[in-house]
Amino acid sequence: MSENIYSDLKQLGTNTALPDDPAKAELERVQNPQADVDYNVRFVAPEFTSLCPMTGQPDFAHLVIDYVPGAWLVESKSLKLYLGSFRDHGAFHEDCTVSIARRLAEFTQAKWLRIGGYWYPRGGIPIDVFYQTGPMPEGVWIPDQGVPPYRGRG
């Protein structure tokens, strides 16, 4: 590579505080050095946390994010900090899951993106939230998200 595609990154390699609100979190991206080929990138956040906007009680989810990048890749530390910024953020499961997907899709200009938000039960009801930007692209291996449906003692 003739130019350093990483030179504009500000958070990687530095001590970066966790943002206290998703709106304040700064996502970073780099040019995709393999932009001439379609492939899938998967991020898994098995300990995602947010707050119930009504009670302030913590909610927990296992997030699986798949995307087919175009010209940009999201930098993983900035994604980690963005997801962590939800820890003190009150929003329903559906809002958290879909807003994460929409922000990532817009920011990365992904060719395709999907998210599975597998929320752990509160009040005895697990909630799973699914979002994708369009039909799954042909010719790209996109494995099943691998998260089984929630089962109690049944």
Which tens digit of pLDDT belongs to each residue from 10-68? 877 778 888 899 999 999 999 999 999 999 999 999 999 999 999 999 999 999 999 99
Mean pLDDT of 81-101: 97
Q: Give pLDDT tens digits for 112-126.
A: 999 999 999 988 889
- Is 74 inside a domain boundary? yes
State residue 123's pLDDT score: 82
Q: pLDDT averaged over the chain?
A: 92
Residue 84 domain boundaries: 36-132
Look at residue 6 and tell me whether its pLDDT is greater than 90: no
Q: Which letter, b or e, does each residue of 22-59 get, where b requires 16 or more Cβ atoms within 10 Å of its Cβ?
A: beebebbbbebeeeeebebbebebeebbbbeeeeeeeb
Residue 29 lies in a domain: no
What whole-number percentage of the chain has pLDDT above 90?
Answer: 80
Report whether 76 belongs to an annotated binding site: yes
Query: Does 15 fall in a domain?
Result: no
Going by pLDDT thresholds of 50, 70 and 90, the confidence category of residue 93 is: very high
The residue ranking higher by pLDDT, 14 or 141, is 141
75, part of any domain: yes
- pLDDT value at position 22? 96
| Residues with catalytic function | 52, 59
The answer to whether 106 is a known ligand-binding residue is: no
Position 24 in a domain = no
Task: Establish if 56 belongs to a structural domain.
Answer: yes
Binding site annotation covers 41? Answer: no
Residue 13 lies in a domain: no
Count of the separate structural domains present in the chain? 1
What is the CATH classification number for the domain harbouring 87?
3.30.1130.10
13 burial (CB, 10 Å; 0-12 / 13-18 / 19+) is exposed
The reply, when asked if residue 68 is annotated as ligand binding, is no
Any domain includes 109: yes
pLDDT range class, residue 83, cuts 50, 70, 90: very high
